């Protein structure tokens, strides 16, 4: 009998800390109810992880990851005991299916498990399975759209173990693209007409890959991942200036580097990034019915590299901005505004997870 995620689509009780585990760092975000706005950024922290502890989304060494998580929680003085985490998209199989409308929830559970066996390439006993009822099917009034999600048990268990080692109780296990979308949907509410009718492209520049998510009317219409990330610039800094990877990451954000950095390293990195972003958009145009993008957002730690936003805007001729998931939120007085501006673009997934506290 398959065991459900704890819980992929279910409501989580507050207080809740959103935790993003990446190859280079642990990011935690805690949101509370604001006095003047629906949400307030209460605290956040980013802590580096030992290299090799997480590889390709897989937790290879649990203890260093849990230690980094503990440091992050202490750094921001979080007292939350419940956590929301996410699995990378490669660790989750998702499928939208149609089932008869009007059944009891326990009947849907049986039907989903039966249907899932058709799409999962391993035994149903080896997976965590969950589902969400999406609503009436578009062309079949007697049926309902259902989103099912399944992941190997060990993938879920690894993240649960890390949270528990840090003294937390996982209550939500989401999928990273869904958590990112939650943060993007929040930001688009502040665009004219709540972003309706606008095609929005979000490039999330990670350590080794850049993911593109294109959204129209709060629906994802295109996704793509390519091999470009901030690790390339970090490795160049380590090689040229004899820095540690941790020092390189810090100096990459602050710009505290020798004069030849911009000419020899930064400009080639920006040129490569803008070329890859432009190619990704062209692939979107040629493989979909759409011929335009109205807004580009850059996210991820390397999105704040000086000059990248302007270069992308010039190359693509599309308005381009750094994406902060905290738009329209109150911010606790203890958080330094300048530091938040630098860190915010890398906190989309953690923020989207923390928003689960406010699920209705």
Task: Give pLDDT, residue 2.
Answer: 44
Contact present, 337 and 312 (Cβ < 8 Å): no
Does 120 share its domain with 253? Answer: no
pLDDT, position 4: 47
In three-state secondary structure terms, 259 is: coil
pLDDT value at residue 7: 54
CA 324 to chain centre: 13
Task: Give the pLDDT score at 304.
Answer: 86
- Strand order of the β-sheet with 199-205 is 219-226, 210-216, 199-205, 295-299, 320-322
The reported pLDDT for the residue numbered 1 is: 41
My answer on whether 202 and 261 are in the same domain is yes
The pLDDT of residue 228: 87
The answer to whether residues 99 and 111 touch, using CB atoms and an 8 Å cutoff, is yes
Q: Is residue 6 part of a domain?
A: no
Length of the chain: 360
Residue ranges making up the domain that contains 283: 193-322
Q: Looking at residue 96, which CATH number applies to its domain?
A: 3.30.1490.300
End-to-end CA, the chain = 29
> Do both 59 and 169 map to the same domain?
yes
Are 110 and 198 within one domain?
no
Q: Are residue 338 and residue 225 in the same domain, yes or no?
A: no
Inter-residue contact 303 to 320 (CB < 8 Å): no
Task: Report the pLDDT value the prediction gives residue 359, as an integer from 0 to 100.
Answer: 76
Task: Give how many domains the chain has, as a whole number.
Answer: 3
In the chain (360 residues long), the average pLDDT of successive 10-residue segments reads 49 77 93 93 94 88 96 95 92 85 83 80 80 81 85 91 96 91 93 92 90 92 89 88 82 78 90 95 96 96 89 96 95 93 94 88
pLDDT tens digit string along 249-296?
777 767 788 888 888 888 999 999 999 999 999 999 999 999 999 999
Query: How is residue 355 written in tokens?
Result: 């928003």
Instruction: Name the one residue in this structure whose structure tokens are 């911009």.
Output: 262
Cβ atoms of residues 163 and 257 within 8 Å:
no
Has residue 10 been placed in a domain? no
Tokens of 258: 């020798």
Do 293 and 214 contact (CB within 8 A), yes or no? yes
Give the per-residue pLDDT at 10.
53
Do 234 and 261 reside in the same domain of the chain? yes
Q: Which CATH number is 348's domain given?
A: 3.30.420.40
């Amino acid at each position: 009998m398959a065991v459900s995620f704890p819980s992929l689509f279910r409501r989580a009780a507050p207080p809740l800390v959103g935790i993003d585990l990446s190859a280079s760092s642990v990011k935690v975000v805690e949101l509370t109810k604001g006095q003047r706005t629906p949400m307030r950024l209460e605290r956040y922290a980013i802590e580096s992880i030992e290299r090799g502890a997480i590889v390709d989304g897989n937790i290879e060494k649990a203890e260093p990851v849990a230690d980094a998580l503990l440091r992050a929680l202490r750094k921001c003085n979080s007292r939350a005991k419940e956590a929301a985490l996410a699995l990378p998209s490669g660790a989750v199989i998702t499928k939208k299916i149609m089932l008869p409308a009007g059944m009891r929830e326990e009947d849907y559970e049986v039907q989903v498990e039966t249907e899932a066996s058709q799409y999962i390439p391993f035994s149903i006993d080896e997976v965590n399975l969950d589902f969400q009822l999406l609503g009436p099917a578009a062309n079949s009034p007697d049926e309902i759209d259902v989103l099912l999600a399944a992941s190997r048990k060990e993938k879920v268990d690894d993240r649960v173990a890390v949270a528990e080692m840090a003294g937390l109780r996982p209550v939500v296990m989401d999928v990273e693209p869904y958590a990112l979308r939650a943060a993007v949907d929040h930001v688009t509410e502040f665009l004219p007409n709540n972003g309706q009718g606008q095609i929005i492209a979000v490039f999330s520049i990670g350590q080794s890959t850049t993911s593109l998510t294109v959204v129209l009317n709060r629906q994802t219409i295109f996704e793509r991942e390519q091999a470009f990330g901030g690790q390339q610039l970090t490795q160049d800094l380590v090689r040229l200036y004899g820095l540690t990877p941790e020092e390189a990451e810090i100096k990459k954000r602050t710009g505290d580097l020798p004069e030849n950095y911009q000419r020899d390293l930064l400009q080639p990195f920006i040129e490569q990034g803008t070329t890859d972003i432009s190619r990704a958009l062209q692939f979107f145009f040629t493989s979909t019915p759409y011929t335009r993008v109205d807004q580009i957002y850059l996210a991820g730690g390397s999105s704040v590299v000086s000059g990248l936003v302007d270069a992308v805007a010039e190359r693509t001729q599309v308005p381009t901005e750094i994406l902060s998931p905290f738009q329209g939120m109150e911010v606790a007085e203890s958080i330094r505004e300048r530091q938040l501006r630098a860190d915010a673009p890398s906190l989309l997934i953690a923020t989207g997870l923390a928003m689960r506290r406010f699920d209705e």
